[in-house]
Amino acid sequence: MKVSVSTISIAELDVDLLFVPVSSEEIDSGLEALTEAFGSVVERARSDVRGDGSNATVLYPETGTAKRIVLVGLGTAETTTFEKLRLAASKAANVAYNVKAETVGISIPSLSMSGDDTAQALVEGFVLGSYRFDRYRTSEQPGEAAQRLVIQTTDHDKQVRRGADKGRIIAEAVCSARDLVNLSPDEKTPTLLSKAIEKSGKKHGYDVSVWDKALIQEEGMGGLLAVNRGSQEPPTFSVLEWRPENARNSRPIILVGKGVVFDTGGLSLKPTKGSMDSMKCDMAGAAAVVGAMEAIAKLDLPLYVIALIPATDNRPGENAYVPGDVVKMHSGKTVEVLNTDAEGRMILADALSYASSFYPEIVIDLATLTGAAVVALGEFVAAVMTNAEEGSEERLTDITLAGAESGDRVHPLPMFDDYNEQLKSTVADLKNVGGRGGGSITAAKFLEHFVDYPWIHVDIAGPAFWDTAHGYSQAGGTGFGVRLLTRYLQHVSEKKR
Ligand code: BES
Ligand code: MN
Ligand code: ZN
């Protein structure tokens, strides 16, 4: 979507649809400016506009150049949040999609928030709310996403432009993550996924190198190779790098994304209904990390960031790994496999121990790791855990704040060492599953055995993929994690200023 900023008056803005977010104060005082621009239809529609943003009121103006006006209430100017603005904009995006509006204007309201933030939130919500995945449809669509977005403002247009650009860059990165997740599994084998990552790197200006199976073997990534044994497709390991000259850190920040391109469970086969049927989403961590690299490159963030993506599918082919197999991992530790469906931690453990060779400042992994995270927190919030290494409180505070601000919300789970008892094996250093309780925590405790640096683990099994639309996401991949990581990294770079 093309996004521009204009200081033309709302009455003169020539668009198919003009979205006007309005505060309760404006509604209460009679929407005078709007009535002046568009006539008495505004007056008549006034009582339909709810302050809580729960509906979008569409009206067809008598005067002015805009073909349609969409009004969405925001609550009071004082209490409006980033998230309320995103949700309001996504309501307008749905209307715009349904009427196939090609050009859309957004009038920037004056709120307690800065012009930057207001514009960013509205653009983010609009672009995210306009997203539809139509790649495989052959029949005509009920709607169409807008091509051009004009941000209308009366003052502070520099700030508004900056905010609008940020919003567009971030939302577009979320949409590329959604695209990867929504792709049919046969179009994202590990090899094809790594090709897509290479293409993303070229387009957005970061470096990518891809390891093939031979190199993965040479590096001794036993976990990744074990999971891959039942597959027809070789694994890949992608290394992404963003290293600008003005980087404020010398030791890299490393992002790791789980890239299980399809999870059948392997020989510990998943049932289909409500379980295996959505497992093309099991590379959503990888997709989020790719999206985050796109965003930080486009935002030109002054940070040295590396991303690691181990990719394979998990299938019960002839040579598949079996319960009882003991696997020698990249770190040298041995793992007794007692459930082949606990494959994510096998491939992540290798990526995490490899990350150690960069002496990272911090490593953050994103993974659709456990159904237990969905049981604990539901579909809207990811579980976050960190190791006890120095600064753990601060890490949890920082990532939780980044979540609240970005809209990709996370909530902490504990990491007491008592949980390690569940991972004791009778034959190897560790086993790959714990007991019935605390499944997200035992998964994280397993991974903790492979890290020796400050580390944040985000289990995105709940919010990565939805069966039904909600807020500014349709059913399917949500792109969760892109905004979380981007926001977190923006904070890191500001702190280092
Ligand atoms: N990919 C799944 C986890 C998952 C579940 C992601 C629901 C998204 C939605 C993971 O590989 C898995 O199968 N985990 C097992 C672990 C168990 C065998 C210890 C699970 O959660 O059941
Ligand atoms: Mn699994
Ligand atoms: Zn999985």
Residue 161 belongs to a domain: no
Nearest of 192, 345, 319, 194 to residue 266 by alpha carbon: 319
pLDDT (tens digit per residue) in 144-199: 999 999 999 988 789 999 999 999 999 999 999 999 999 999 999 999 999 999 99
Is 87 strand, coil or helix? helix
- The answer for residues whose C-beta is within 8 angstroms of residue 277's C-beta and 6 or more apart is none
- Which ligand lies nearest to the CA atom of residue 261 in the structure? 3
Residue in 267, 341, 419 to alter for ligand 1 test, most ligand atoms within 8 A of Cβ: 341
pLDDT value at position 22? Answer: 95
- Report if residue 160 sits inside a domain: no
pLDDT in tens, 35-62: 999 999 999 999 899 888 888 999 999 8
The answer to whether residue 12 sits within a structural domain is yes
For ligand 1, is residue 276 a contact (CB within 6 Å)? no
Q: Is residue 303 within 8 Å of 285, Cβ to Cβ? A: no
Do 473 and 324 reside in the same domain of the chain? Answer: yes
Nearest atom in ligand 1 to 442's CA:
19
Question: Do residues 442 and 434 lie in contact, with contact meaning Cβ atoms separated by under 8 Å?
Answer: yes
Distance of CA 217 to the CA centre of its chain: 31
Tell me the CATH number at 458. 3.40.630.10
The pLDDT, as a whole number, for residue 304 is 98
Q: Does one domain contain both 249 and 188? A: yes
- The ligand minimizing its distance to the Cα of 284 is 1
CA 248 – CA 300 distance, rounded (Å): 12
Overall domain count for the chain? 2
Q: Express each pLDDT in 87-111 by its tens digit.
A: 999 999 999 999 999 999 999 998 9
| Domain co-membership, 419 together with 488 | yes
Any domain includes 93: yes
- Quickly tell me which residue has 């995103």 as its tokens: 86
Cα angle: 178, vertex 316, 327; to 5 degrees: 95
Query: What is the average pLDDT across 232-258?
Result: 98
**Dihedral sign of CA atoms 80, 83, 86, 90 in order:** negative
Q: Name the pLDDT band for 399 (thresholds 50, 70, 90).
A: very high
Distance 322 CA to ligand 3 centre (A): 16
Q: What is the rounded distance in angstroms from the CA atom of residue 249 to the CA atom of residue 305?
A: 9
* Residue 334 φ then ψ, to 5°: -105, 145
CB-hemisphere CA count at 13 Å for 430? 26
Position 51 scores a pLDDT of 81
Q: Is 189 in the pocket of ligand 1 (CB under 6 A)?
A: no
Same domain? 134 vs 188: no
Q: Is residue 155 part of a domain?
A: no
Q: Is 339 in the pocket of ligand 1 (CB under 6 A)?
A: yes
Ligand 1, residue 368: give the atom nearest the CA: 6
Query: Of the candidates 133, 150, 167, which is a domain's last residue?
Result: 150
Q: Residue 30: its pLDDT value, please? A: 87
Task: Report, in angstroms and rounded to the nearest whole number, the Rg of the chain calculated over CA atoms.
Answer: 24
In 243-396, the DSSP E strands lie at 253-257, 259-263, 305-314, 326-328, 334-336, 362-367, 382-386
101 Cα–ligand 2 center, Å? 42
- Are 91 and 40 spatial neighbours (Cβ–Cβ below 8 Å)? no
How many other CB atoms are found less than 10 A from the CB of residue 4?
11
Q: What is the mean pLDDT of residues 299-324?
A: 98
The answer to whether the CB of 73 is under 6 A from ligand 1 is no
Residues 6+ apart with CB under 8 A from 313: 185, 189, 190, 228, 231, 233, 260, 261, 262, 263, 264
Question: Are 341 and 259 in the same domain?
Answer: yes
| Residue 162 domain flag | no
Question: Quick check: is 159 in a domain?
Answer: no
User: Rounded to 5, what percent of the chain is helix, strand, coil?
Assistant: 40, 20, 40
Same domain, 146 and 185: no
Is residue 325 assigned to a domain? yes
Residue 269 Cβ inside 6 Å of ligand 1? The answer reads no
Ligand 1 atom closest to the Cα of residue 314 is 11
**Which residue owns the Cα nearest ligand 1 atom 13?**
341
Residue 311's pLDDT is 99
Atom of ligand 1 nearest to the CA of 265: 13
Last residue of a domain, one of 116, 134, 150: 150
Same domain, 141 and 183: no
Residue position matching structure tokens 């008592």: 418
Catalytic residues, by residue number, are 270, 345
Model pLDDT, residue 54: 83
- Identify the pLDDT of residue 155: 81
Take atom 8 of ligand 1 and give the residue whose Cα is closest: 461
CATH of the domain at 7: 3.40.220.10
Do 114 and 219 lie in a common domain? no
Q: 395 CB contacts (<8 Å, ≥6 apart)?
A: 362, 386, 454, 456
For the segment 435-459, the average pLDDT, to the nearest whole number, is: 98
Token pair for residue 241? Answer: 């790098």
Between the CA of 216 and the centroid of ligand 1 the distance, in Å, is 24
**H/E element, 242:** strand 236-242
Question: Is the CB of 341 within 6 Å of ligand 1?
Answer: yes
Query: What residues make up the domain containing 395?
Result: 175-495
Strands (E), 315-381: 326-328, 334-336, 362-367
Average pLDDT, the chain: 97
The beta-strand segments (E) located in 102-202 are 103-107, 148-152
CA 61 to chain centre: 38
Question: Residue 423 — pLDDT band, cuts 50, 70, 90?
Answer: very high
Residue 409 pLDDT exceeds 90? yes
User: From ligand 2's centre to the CA of 421, what distance in Å?
Assistant: 22
Distance 251 CA to ligand 3 centre (A): 30
User: Ligand 1 atom 5: the closest Cα is on which residue?
Assistant: 371
What is the rounded distance in angstroms from the CA atom of residue 278 to the CA atom of residue 468?
Answer: 12
Asked if residue 459 has its Cβ within 6 Å of ligand 1, the reply is: no
Q: What percent of the chain has pLDDT over 90?
A: 95
Same domain, 137 and 212: no
The pTM assigned to this predicted structure is 0.98
Would you say the C-alpha torsion 436, 440, 445, 446 has a positive or negative sign?
positive
Are residues 128 and 63 located together in one domain of the fold?
yes
Q: What is the pLDDT of residue 231?
A: 98
Q: In whole angstroms, what separates CA 237 from the centre of its chain?
A: 21
If asked whether residues 145 and 187 sit together in one domain, one would say: no
How many whole angstroms from 372 Cα to the centroid of ligand 1? 8
Same domain, 146 and 28: yes
